[in-house]
A and B are shown apart, each in its own frame.
Chain A
Amino acid sequence: MSEKQDSCCGGSCHTSEVAETATEKHSGVTIRPHYTSRYDDEAWEVAVTLPGVARDQVNVSIENEILEVEASRSNPVPEGWQALGDYPVERRYQLRLDVGPEVDPERISASQEDGVLTLRLPLKEATKPRTIAVS
C-alpha cells in the first residue's frame, strides 16, 4: 500500500488527521496521541505514537483501572530561525485508557523506540482462559 501526501513550504500543510486540542496558541498544545491496541490470551499490547519524545519525557501510570500516558516534546525555534507556520513550541501528549479489572497493574511494562511507546499489559491469572479436561 502506498499513500501520497503533498506538503508545501510555507506553513498551512499540517495536522488534518491528528486529534489535537489547542490550549495556548503558539506556546503549547495538548494532543491525544494515536494508538494501536490488540490482545491475546496473555495480555493487551498498546502502541502509542509519540514522535519526537525522548524516553525521559514519558510518564506512564495506572490508577483505578485508568492507564495514563503523559509525555511532552519541546520544539523550540532556534535563534535566528523563522517558523514558516504557526507551530506550537511545546506539545504535550495525554492518553487515558480504561483498561478494566482484567489487567495486572504490577506487571505492566513499557519500551520506546523510534517515537513509538509500546506497552504490554498482562492479564491477571484469573482472567486467562483455561482448558477443562473432559474425563
Chain B
Amino acid sequence: MKLVRYPHSNSLFSDFDSLFADHFRAFSPLLRSTLRSSTSAPYSGVEWYENEESYVARVELPGVKKENLKLELDDGLLRLAFERRRGLDEAGSFEKREQVLRVPETVNPDGISASLENGILELTLAKADEAKPVRIEIK
C-alpha cells in the first residue's frame, strides 16, 4: 500500500487545521485510491527535578512500549534507544530513535530506576553519597 507523506500542517496562525480541505474536498478518484498521510516529528521533551536524595528526569516518549525501550548509562551519558510504530502504519513498520541525556556527575550509577506510563518515562537517579548535603549537628 502506497503512502504519501505531507509536511505537517500545525500552524500557530489558524484557529483549526483542515483535515480535508487541500486533499479531500477537491478530490479526484485517482487521489482517493491512494492512501495519504500527514505527519510530523513527535516531540521529546525532558524535565529535570532534584531533591536532597536524587534527581528525577521526566521524558516524553509517546507511543513507546516498555519492551521497546532500552536504557544504557555510559560515561555520564544515559542513552535511550527505542522503537515505536511509525505513525498509523499498521504494517508493522517501526522507527528507531535514540535520545541521549547527560546526567549529573554526582549520580550513583547503581541507583537509577525507571518507569514508563502514558508515554512518560520517569527516571530516578540517586545522588552519590558525597553529593548529598551533610547536616552538622550543633552541640
Contact = CB atoms under 8 A, between A and B. Distances in A.
Interface of A: 1-11, 13-15, 17-19, 21, 32, 34-41, 44-47, 49-54, 66-67, 75, 77-78, 80-85, 87, 95-100, 102, 114-116, 118, 129
Nearest to A48: B62
Contacts of A34: 8, 10, 40-43
A35 B88 CA distance: 10
Interface of B: 3, 8, 10, 12, 15-21, 24-25, 29, 32-33, 35-52, 55-58, 60-65, 87-88, 95-104, 118-120
Contacts of A38: 3, 35-38, 87-88
Candidate in B42, B57, B98 with the most chain A CB atoms within 10 angstroms: B42
Contacts of B24: 39, 100, 102
Contacts of A53: 118
Contact of B62 (A10, A40, A51): A51
B47 A1 contact: no
Return the 3 tightest CB-CB contacts between A and B, nearest first: A115-B119, A96-B16, A115-B62
Nearest to A6: B100
Nearest to B15: A96
Given A3-B98, A39-B24, A10 B118 contact: no
A114 B63 contact: yes
Interface SS of B by simple majority: loop
A35 B40 contact: yes
Which of A21, A47, A53, A66 neighbours the largest number of chain B CB atoms within 10 Å of its CB? A47
B67 to A, nearest CB: 11
Q: Main SS of chain A's interface residues?
A: loop
Given A9-B55, A80-B51, A100-B24, 18 more contacts: A4-B98, A9-B57, A9-B101, A14-B45, A18-B45, A34-B8, A34-B40, A34-B41, A40-B35, A44-B19, A52-B119, A52-B120, A81-B51, A99-B19, A100-B19, A114-B64, A114-B119, A115-B120
5 contacts: A4-B98, A17-B43, A38-B88, A50-B119, A116-B63
A98 B95 contact: no
A38 B37 CA distance: 4
Given A35-B40, A82-B51, A97 B17 contact: yes
Contact of B37 (A17, A36, A67): A36
Contacts of B50: 81-82, 84
Contacts of B51: 78, 80-82
B102 to A, nearest CB: 5
